[in-house]
Amino acid sequence: GENVEQHPSTLSVQEGDSAVIKCTYSDSASNYFPWYKQELGKRPQLIIDIRSNVGEKKDQRIAVTLNKTAKHFSLHITETQPEDSAVYFCAAINNDMRFGAGTRLTVKP
Amino acid sequence: GAGVSQSPRYKVAKRGQDVALRCDPISGHVSLFWYQQALGQGPEFLTYFQNEAQLDKSGLPSDRFFAERPEGSVSTLKIQRTQQEDSAVYLCASSSGQGIYEQYFGPGTRLTVT
């Protein structure tokens, strides 16, 4: 089955800086890669996703890149704000659904 | 419109008790998923329904776990003879299509087994 590794486990940045979170996956058949943001005690919220037929997708300050050859994908947040502070989860999905262990992002004002 | 809702939000059970957790998906959503999230971890897949059909239950940890969606809308996750290791947040998600894309999560049920 699929195995997803996510790095780093914690990330602290200064407000206005960029943050990058990386995930690798093992199943080359995985074709859908969502990213979720989860604030403490809240539900995971889908913030961006990418399918295997594109290499990059952008939505305002958030972008995701996918390298299918290397089997890794990354979340990029630019101009970070304190409200971006949360735990971020990646996932790689085919028939088997696997989430990474999460990255706790702290944006310091 | 209304999102995915789950009830109860919190459940405390004594070891050995049976519990039932409810999920109301977004209206019209075909696919429904259950996940278990331990503290500090990502969601772990339990089971997946497309309408009333349970297409994948490979993630259910034991035969004490049972899920159903008899009319293709509301779903119930039942855990029999609860044990301490069942303590976790149980998340439900739904998606509009017949696949596993764009899943929207409910707030979860936090189960504590004492």
pLDDT at B69: 97
Q: What is the pLDDT of residues B23-34, one digit of tens each?
A: 999 999 999 999
Structure tokens of A25? 């996956």
Q: How far is A44 from chain B (nearest CA, A)?
A: 6
How far is CA B65 from each of CA A105, B6, B77, B80, B82, rounded to the nearest angstrom?
34, 17, 7, 7, 9
pLDDT score at A2 = 81
Is B96 in the A-facing interface, judged by CB distances under 8 Å? Answer: no
Nearest to B43 by CA among A90, A41, A48, A99: A99
Q: Which residues of chain A have pLDDT under 50?
A: none
At residue A95, the pLDDT reads 74
Cβ–Cβ of B43/A89 closer than 8 Å?
Answer: yes
**Tell me, what's the pLDDT at A53?**
85
pLDDT(B1) > 60? no
Does A44 sit within 8 Å of B105, measured CB to CB?
yes
Query: How confident is the model at residue B97, as a pLDDT?
Result: 79
What is the model's pLDDT at position A94?
81
Closest alpha carbon within chain B to A5: B42
Tens-digit pLDDT profile for residues B51-64: 999 999 999 999 99
| SS3 (DSSP) at B17 | coil
pLDDT of residue A97: 81
Chain A residues within an 8 Å CB radius of B45: 96-98
Is residue B40 less than 8 Å (CB to CB) from chain A? yes
Q: How far apart are CA B31 and CA A17, in angstroms?
A: 38
Predicted pLDDT at A52: 85
Averaged pLDDT of chain A: 94
Q: pLDDT tens for residues B62-112?
A: 999 999 999 999 999 999 999 999 999 999 999 997 777 889 999 999 999
Question: What pLDDT score was predicted for residue B2?
Answer: 80
> Cβ–Cβ of B44/A100 closer than 8 Å?
no
